[in-house]
Structure 1
């Protein structure tokens, strides 16, 4: 671990202590600053029911920014305007995760809670990134079997063989190359960042504040690197390693560590005597839950169990993927424990979580697949993937070699259009990072790499907690207070801190 990483671990503070160590950062940015120009947004009612005062619009952007007057696509944009004009200080942009997650549903789900925290300080704005939701989409025309999450995630065969993964990866890359077209080739972090700056100008803002989550933290970090003069108060929530040589490949690989970090939380919950009356106590001791899970997955490898979804059996890999999804939030523990119980019961037909019961929509699969490959070149050595899977299965049996396995990116038809952005400490010190210590998707070890890259530009609040997506979700009251204070007052901790409540 670097000297800097050690410094990031120095201090553990209570919520009150965090609040007591705040210091002022950048002054307020006012909306409608002189010189901000962009395409007009025609706001109107949203197609889907949303929040009171929620409006929607469409933003035209170039398919290819190297040809700014060429073909266009449209982005779905939504906002909830501040109901306290005297308190308003600007626009807070919600940058969604993924890749492949739209922003508009998140504003609908989180807007009321976020608006309460902000107390009128901002118009709340978000967008569906190109390829997602109500924005222009692309297609790879994949067969339904190749769009199941358990297929898109490269789970090896029960014995670790990757032959089927290789065939599927080649098939997916070929389909995307034949059917995707210019829009699919445009799905990248670099273009999402350009789209955000075009949205900023359309909003008439000289500067934006932002709350970015998960993959959105990398988008947000790249924006802050490319357009530092247009950032105001910047929150990066649930971060991962921004190494430009590896990017999404490293993020996937890091999930093995993240699962190991997080699983003890589920094990403690599943062994708690409080689960007894619900029939969901899986073991008497937390240390017995892991071997129980591994044995059950191996049993399902040998003999998949018919589920309540016709034609979609509960396999060992579906159980493993269900666990990966579950570890993101304590609120999902009960559903997964019930699935385990049903898998153990010879008379039961397990009820699969919705995310595993059917294929992803073609457009969503396409944007996830394309962004992974358009950002950075992936290695193509098949023997190297075989070796990596064999070693990772031993080190991290919960994920069984999936995070380092071959993907379609090894056979992608088009090289990345540009070099990834290197995140550095150049720019204003206006970033607050929020990170759960036991994040299964964006593990703490990767977040420290982002923290190191940002240097003096950032402070990090580490939460002694588990789950993915911390602010107003799977974090702590201490973390919520730190983010709210930063966004509403401009103050943040004077140094990196940790808090447990």
Structure 2
């Protein structure tokens, strides 16, 4: 949590821009931080916090994090975990961790581990932006702790393509309509899978969600917490639910926002996500029409046709951007998709499309680059590669180019504008060269404490029904429904959602199941 080339699930756009929280670190007694040898606060473990699930994992569970200041009042450390949990005495990797200390240390109640989704988005960035992601009732009393899941960010990052190849991959037509484009699409399917295996070695087979969830329990122990308090968004809900299934007795207060449905197939996920983006696009266009003098046209259908026609035009003739890169159709697609994650970005999409209609692709290219973590000098993280490596290792389902046409009618019905893109995306994992060593799980989290699941009615990336289904699938799931637009529900302008979430995380007050906001 979001598409592999916008199709494979699930990048959260809650990775807000802006400054991180600058928090004063105050040393207190009893359950509050005590000084480590480096002078940076650490936490005294709660009873039983470091008990390992098996003796051979004890060295990992008993490790102490060495925190160092890393700017803006934040603290950073490295957590050591096994590359392969089936061989804990073998090779190890390091997980990057960032903590934003509670801004009211005297009221601190513990650590809140967070994950922003992707899979592939760096959790350390998410935590560093805690002041924007979370409201002050949370940041006042929790140390917000983010980690880059294995294979991502600064945690043994997988590598699959050169930056130059990744540029070509992102720019290619996600809806190939000629034999040449189909051949090119097939080329990148094979090249991506081969590249992950060749460039990442043994790591490529050990970046599953299950292994990342096991890492999260080692992190819980290293933080000194006997139970895990967790906030996961988008794909982070899959990670959190998997953790709860693996370690139900360690579940504290878990919130899963913008939920992924773990009970349906990859094909059905893609089909429903296509419908989700269509719903978001239609809401955007209808808003423009309702405002009057809409640059897209005089009706909803006019606007949808104009956007689809524009993508066809860029496919035929890429646009100038005023720089050394053209806006190609893949970039244009991402540039349109990105602002659909939040109603607040609709005005940016207005600007980007109007410029594009006038032959200037610069703004759409900037949005595409933001979506794919590309800066002026290259890619700023490996999220575009990690999303492939993790999703395809979790579930290598794929179809061939010859099988795509039979799938088109279902996808075009779900999304007349974007459906064909999602149908072609079903090929994505066809080139994977490695296999997971972790058996599939029927995630139920039996015996876990209440788990709060939040769904938004017009969420483009994680459709509302996914939250309904995940809450039902988890034995202790409790559903909060937000009526609104955009991806995820907490801190999106709905006091009902925010207050219920905070009452649960801070006071343990479990909301009414089915709470409608």
Which TM-score applies when normalising by structure 1? 0.83
Describe the superposition over 1:113-161 as per-residue Cα deviations: whole angstroms up to 9, x where unpaired.
Answer: 6361226432221111122222222222446233457358x81214697
Matches of residues 14-93 of structure 1 in structure 2 within 5 Å? 32-37=45-50, 38-46=62-70, 49-50=71-72, 52=73, 54-93=74-113
**SS at 1:407 equivalent:** helix
Q: What's the secondary structure of 2:155's corresponding residue?
A: coil
Distance 1:194 1:151, change over 3 A: farther
Query: How do 1:58-137 residues align onto structure 2 when only pairs under 5 Å count?
Result: 58-111=78-131, 114=134, 116-118=136-138, 120-137=140-157
How many aligned residue pairs are there?
Answer: 455
Residues 67-111 of structure 1: per-residue CA shift (max 9 Å, x gap): 112111111111123344553332211122111101111112123
Q: In structure 1, how many angstroms separate the alpha carbons of the residues matched to 2:341 and 2:392?
A: 24
Match of 1:25 in 2: none
CA distance in 1, matches of 2:69, 2:92: 23
SS at match of 2:129: helix
Aligned-residue offset at 1:242: 0.4
Question: Separation in 2 of the partners of 1:437 and 1:330?
Answer: 13
Matches within 5 A, 1:444-483: 444-455=464-475, 457-472=476-491, 474=492, 476-483=494-501
Q: Which residue in 2 is equivalent to 1:495? A: 513
Partner of residue 318, structure 1: 331
Pick closer, same or farther for the CA change 1:349–1:379 going to 2, 3 Å: closer
- Report the counterpart of residue 296 of structure 2 in structure 1: 282
Residue 286 of structure 1: CA displacement? 4.2
What per-residue deviation string (whole Å, max 9, x for no partner) do you get for residues 20-74 of structure 1?
A: xxxxxxxxxx97322322211011111xx33x3x211111111111111211111
Quote the Cα distance in structure 2 between the aligned partners of 1:360 and 1:253.
29
Equivalent residue, structure 1, for 2:319: 305
How far off is 1:417 after superposition? Answer: 1.7
Go from structure 1 to structure 2 and tell me whether the alpha carbon gap of 1:475 and 1:415 turns closer, same or farther (over 3 Å shift).
farther
* 1:366 to 2:385 alignment: yes
The residue that corresponds to 1:334 in the other structure is 347
Residues 262-271 or 165-174, more deviating: 262-271
Q: Deviations over 1:276-331 (max 9, x none)?
A: 6xxx743344453212212222233333322234232343x433322221110112
Structure 1 CA distance for aligned equivalents of residues 461 and 47 of structure 2: 41
Corresponding residue of 1:399? 418
CA contact (8 A) 1:165 1:407 kept: no
Describe the SS at the equivalent of 1:492.
coil
Q: CA RMSD in A?
A: 2.7
| Deviation at residue 349 of structure 1 after TM alignment | 5.1
Equivalent in the alignment of 1:15: none
1:386 corresponds in structure 2 to 405
Please point out which of 350, 361, 366 is paired with 1:354: 366
Q: 1:325/1:60 Cα in 2 relative to 1: closer, same or farther (>3 Å)?
A: same
1-side partners of 2:349 and 2:103: how far apart? 41
With normalisation by structure 2, the TM-score equals 0.81
**Contact 2:208 2:394 survives alignment (8 Å):** yes
In 1, Cα distance between equivalents of 2:408 and 2:414: 10
Q: Specify every segment of 5 or more residues in structure 1 that has no aligned partner in the other structure, as ranges.
A: 1-29
Distance 1:31 1:330, change over 3 A: farther
Find the counterpart in structure 2 of residue 221 from structure 1: 241
User: Is the 1:261–1:438 Cα contact (8 Å) retained in structure 2?
Assistant: yes
- Between the two structures, name the one with larger relative contact order (CA 8 Å, sep ≥ 6): 1
Q: Which residue of the partner structure matches residue 192 of structure 2?
A: 172
Q: Is the Cα–Cα contact under 8 Å of residues 155 and 400 in structure 1 kept in the other structure?
A: no
Contact 2:458 2:483 in 1 (8 A): yes
